[in-house]
Structures are given as C-alpha cells and as structure tokens.
C-alpha cells in the first residue's frame, strides 16, 4: 500500500471485496470522511462551541455516543509543544488469527497501557496515521471491533455483540498463553459478519474515534501537588474557571449538590428545577423567578479566601483571566479587575428592563427581591398599569426609588402602543426589571466570545475550582485548551466526565491555603492570619488524586468548620 493511502480506504476496499460477492455492500466512506478529516456530526455554526447557555448534562460515560460540539482535530495534535505527549509506536499492526482447533478468531491481549497508548497515538498523530499504523493491509470487520475495544469502548447493541461473539474465541493471544502464534492461521480469510453488522461496527468505530479526539488525555508528567506548585511559580498566563463551590464557605448554596439550591425548590412543582432560570418561563411569568430569587441573592462586599487567592494571582501578574459561572459578583468585591474577569452567566451587578432595556445597578432591586416583589421599570410603569390595572391597587413611587428622567419616559411612552391590547397578548414580564444573569436559552455575554478564543491558546495553566462542569458552553473550555497545558481541579468531588491531570479534593478555601503555604505566598484576605499557619494535610488516593483536609484533632478544626459552613 502506498504511504498516502489511508486505512479508511483499505477498510472500504476490504468490505467492498467481501460484499460485492453477495451484493451486500457497506460503504465505509459514508461514515468516515477522509477528505474533510472531520466527523459528519452536528456542529455549531462556528464549528467551535454553542453560544447560549445550555441545561445541565449528565456525566458522560465511556459509551459510543458522541455529544461533543467542539472542533475535532482529525489531523492530530503533533507539535513541538505537545512533544511530551508523544506515544509509543506499536511493534506491528494488529493481527487477528484463526484458531485451527475451533475455527474461531483469537484477539490479541489488550492492557490498560495499550488502550492509553492507542488513544494518545490517535490524538497525537491523527486518524490517518492511527489507522495506517494499527491496521494490516488485509482485514475484515472483526478488526473494526478490535479497534473499538482497543480504544476502551464496548458495544451496547446486543444483536451486533451476538454476531461478533459467535466468531470470537474466548481465548486471548499473548506470549505466555497456551495459544501459540504457530497454531493460529493469519492467511487471508473471509469476513464472517453480515453487511448490516459491518456497517454498524464502522459507525461505532467512528463514534469511538470522535469521543477520543474530543476528550482530553492526562499528562504523564503532571500529577503531584509538587508539580502544581512548581508550575504556579513559573506560569504567567493562568486561566481560572470557577463555579459555585468557591462561594459556599460564605453560606451561599451551590446548585446541584444534595443540599444545593435546586434540591431546595422541588416543592415548587416544576418539571425541572432549572426552569426557575428559564428565559421563556420568565417572560411568561416572572414571579416564578422572584419567588425564589432571595435564596440566591448574594451578600454585599463579602468574598472568600479562594476569591482572594485568585486576586493574589492577579497581583503577581500571573492571571490571564478568571471565567466565573457564578452570578454573585463576589470576584469584583475581592478586587479582581474587570478586564481580568468574565462573568459567563452574567451577575446581579446590574439589572435591566425586559421591555425598554433601561439598566440600573443591581443593588437597587435587592430590597424588592428580599420582599418577594416584582421590581418594575419606572419608564414602563404607567403603560404596565394600563395593561394590568388590578395589580396596582397601591401606587409605588418608582420615580423616587430608582431615579427618573421624564424626557426618557415621554420618549418611551410615545414608542409604546397607546391602544389597549387584547387580553392575554401582553406578557406578564412587561416592564419588569430582570437581574442581568444569563438564563437558560439566553445568549452568553459578548465578552465571553471575544476573549475565549485567544485565552485558550495563550494560557499555560488551567485551574478549575468549585464546579461540576455540567453547563455548556463553559464546560467545554477544558477540552478546548491545548493538550500540553496542565489542568488542575480544586473541588469537593471529582468530575468524572473530565480528565484533569491533578485533582485536589476538599474545601476550596483549605486547598487554596495549602497551595499558598507551599508557594510561600500570602493570600490578601482578612482570614489569612489564621490560615497561614493552619495545619492542612493531604493524602494521595490514586495517581493525580489527593484528598485535602484539616485533621479532626487539629486545634484549627473549629475555625475550618466555621469558615466552610
């Protein structure tokens, strides 16, 4: 075979030769497009990521479903920067022999290291070289199934599995087994599977390939706390991604834990607790949100030691950007500069009128939120009275409350219809002020799209803190960062659908204090006097996984309980 002929073409020819004899002709090119080197799946218009906030997704499992919406690097990630990721070349292509005793095919043994190397080979060199290297010149559909298994996946289709296992020997070939290579026949043999099974295997192989190419693999030289400390000292473009866990020590609940915000609003009877942040529902009935908004109203001028840890990175000239999924605006209180902060889901810092888009400082509506009242726009108030007269038995002086411009009011009233609308045609959100937080179905702030493309290419370290990474498109950032850039998770629990090089599991404030101690840095927080000398321990549970905690008998235990309540 010539060097420029991809093994996808070999797959096609092999299947064609086999199926031409019985007019069952699967076309491999229908499923693997070697010309474009891209998977034929649904992508976003820019080929990179979705632009609006999407609902939570379940933890991904190692099945054959490909739900990735980022660009897939079919050409590989081989580069000077990624040299540390370079995998080993296999000694020879895969060889599947037939056992002369029972006429069944014997698969070579697959180890965990084999799977890891095959995945990295695919990502490093790309699809074409992966297939050229791992597959022989002559093959059949059982080789496709073997590649699926080699990449760490298994079929779920019982029909295909039954057909495959009818021809596979339970024995596995390796040099120490009772099956010796001399007893196996490697001569050309007919493909035992039917066309429909072969086609399904090709489809599933592409899904496996897509999944591997869209999922990050861990670095082999970055898995200890000492590696993290050393990198922090050297890095100067650190990307920090934060979630609700960075604020829980201040008494602000997270959203998805067993004691989080969503679990506390089940009594509302919503089909999905996330519907309280659904834009369509807000437009129809904003009271659904304002009945619970007081529960997520942030404290003013408070911030955690973890927020100050990020501020410290900024002060040292190491912070490239802090992308926060939080809406509490506590990063601003901690002193993180506006140009260094991207509030991916908006925040309570400002509020805007749904109808005329007039904007005001968010704290102006906090009192209404605490009283479970609808905050109304002073410029749309008179017109709203016409549409909903029964709800205004007692006039409120919105003019004095928010500050009022009569010229702006007159202009707005002239632009609004003076005719009484048909009953039910005006949304209940007319003239309602909404905090500028990004609801599900609402576009993310433009700043996110302006900065993310450059930041993911410039960053030299990614730290994800206090997040379960379940809301797109922010959750996709971890797969967009170049493969050679170390990734660290600081969180109470592991994130199973992401592949972080280092996982520091514990209270976020404790982990931040531990790392600052090891770096001999001072966190600019009022509680640093106590945290500086606090005894914080860590235990390595697995490669790249540490439990971080304050010992139960520590004199500082009570303080930790108070801080992380």
Catalytic residue numbers?
345
Contacts of 44 (CB under 8 A, 6+ apart): 50, 51, 69
Contacts of 526 (CB under 8 A, 6+ apart): none
How far apart CA 495 and CA 499 sit, in angstroms, is 8
Which run of H or E residues covers position 315? Answer: helix 305-315
- 393 burial (CB, 10 Å; 0-12 / 13-18 / 19+) is exposed
Query: Which of 460, 512, 403 minimizes the C-alpha distance to 219?
Result: 460
Query: Which of 513, 460, 518 minimizes the C-alpha distance to 488?
Result: 460
Question: What letter does residue 247 receive in the DSSP assignment?
Answer: T
Query: Which of 8, 2, 67, 77 minimizes the C-alpha distance to 36?
Result: 8
Residue indicated by tokens 């005894």: 535
How far apart CA 105 and CA 94 sit, in angstroms, is 13
Q: Apex CA 201: angle with CA 122 and CA 206, to 5°?
A: 35
Count of H helices and E strands in the chain? 21, 15
Give the Å distances, CA to CA, from 138 to 131, 202, 209, 388, 547. Answer: 12, 16, 21, 76, 50
Residue indicated by tokens 């908004």: 293
Output the CA torsion sign for 270, 272, 276, 281.
negative
How far apart CA 99 and CA 174 sit, in angstroms, is 14
CA 467 to chain centre: 10
How far apart CA 165 and CA 433 sit, in angstroms, is 63
How far apart CA 66 and CA 211 sit, in angstroms, is 6
Question: What letter does residue 175 receive in the DSSP assignment?
Answer: T
Output the CA torsion sign for 191, 195, 199, 200.
negative
Which run of H or E residues covers position 435? Answer: strand 433-437
């Amino acid at each position: 075979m010539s060097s420029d002929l991809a093994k996808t073409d070999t797959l096609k020819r092999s299947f064609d030769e086999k199926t031409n004899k019985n007019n069952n002709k699967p076309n491999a090119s229908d499923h693997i497009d070697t010309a474009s080197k891209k998977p034929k799946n649904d992508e976003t218009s820019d080929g990179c990521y979705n632009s609006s906030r999407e609902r939570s997704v379940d933890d991904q499992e190692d099945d054959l479903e490909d739900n990735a919406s980022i660009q897939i690097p079919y050409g590989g990630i081989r580069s000077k920067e990624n040299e540390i990721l370079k995998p080993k070349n296999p000694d020879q292509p895969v060889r599947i022999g037939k056992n002369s005793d029972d006429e069944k095919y014997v698969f070579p043994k697959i180890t965990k290291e084999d799977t890891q190397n095959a995945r990295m080979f695919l990502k490093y060199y790309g699809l074409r070289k992966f297939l050229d290297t791992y597959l022989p010149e002559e093959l059949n559909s059982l080789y496709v199934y073997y590649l699926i298994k080699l990449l760490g996946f298994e079929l779920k289709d019982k029909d295909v599995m039954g057909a495959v296992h009818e021809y596979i020997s339970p024995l596995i070939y390796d040099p120490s087994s009772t099956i010796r290579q001399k007893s196996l026949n490697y001569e050309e043999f007919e493909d035992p599977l039917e066309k429909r099974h072969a086609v399904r295997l090709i489809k599933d192989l592409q899904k496996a390939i897509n999944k591997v190419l869209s999922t990050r693999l861990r670095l082999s030289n970055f898995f200890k706390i000492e590696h993290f400390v050393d990198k922090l000292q050297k890095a100067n473009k650190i990307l920090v991604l934060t979630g609700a866990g960075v604020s829980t020590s201040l008494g602000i609940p997270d959203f998805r834990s067993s004691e989080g915000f969503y679990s506390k609003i089940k009594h509302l009877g919503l089909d999905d607790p996330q519907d309280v942040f659904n834009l369509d529902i807000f437009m129809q009935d904003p009271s659904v949100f304002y009945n619970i908004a007081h529960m997520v109203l942030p404290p003013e001028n408070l911030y955690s030691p973890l927020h100050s840890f990020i501020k410290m990175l900024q002060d040292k000239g190491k912070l490239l950007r802090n992308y926060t999924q939080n809406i509490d605006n506590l990063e601003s209180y901690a002193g993180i500069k506006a140009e260094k902060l991207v509030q991916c889901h908006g925040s309570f810092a400002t509020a805007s009128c749904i109808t005329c888009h007039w904007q005001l400082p968010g704290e102006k509506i906090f009192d209404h939120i605490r009283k479970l009242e609808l905050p109304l726009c002073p410029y749309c108030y008179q017109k709203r009275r016409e549409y909903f007269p029964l709800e205004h038995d007692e006039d409120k002086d919105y003019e004095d409350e928010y500050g009022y411009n009569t010229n702006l009011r007159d202009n707005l009233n002239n632009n609004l219809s003076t005719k009484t609308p048909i009953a039910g045609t005006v949304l209940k959100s007319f003239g309602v002020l909404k905090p500028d937080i990004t609801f599900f179905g609402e576009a993310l702030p433009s700043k996110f799209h302006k900065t993310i493309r450059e930041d993911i290419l410039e960053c030299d370290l990614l730290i994800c803190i206090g997040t379960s990474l379940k809301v797109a498109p922010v959750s996709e950032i971890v797969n967009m960062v170049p493969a050679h850039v170390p990734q660290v998770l600081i969180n109470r629990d592991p994130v199973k659908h992401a592949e972080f090089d280092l996982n520091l599991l514990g209270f976020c404030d404790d982990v931040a204090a531990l790392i600052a101690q090891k770096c001999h840095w001072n966190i600019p927080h009022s509680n640093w006097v106590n945290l500086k000398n606090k005894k914080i321990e860590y235990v390595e549970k697995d490669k790249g996984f540490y439990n971080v905690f304050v010992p139960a008998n520590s004199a500082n235990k009570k303080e930790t309980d108070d801080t992380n309540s």
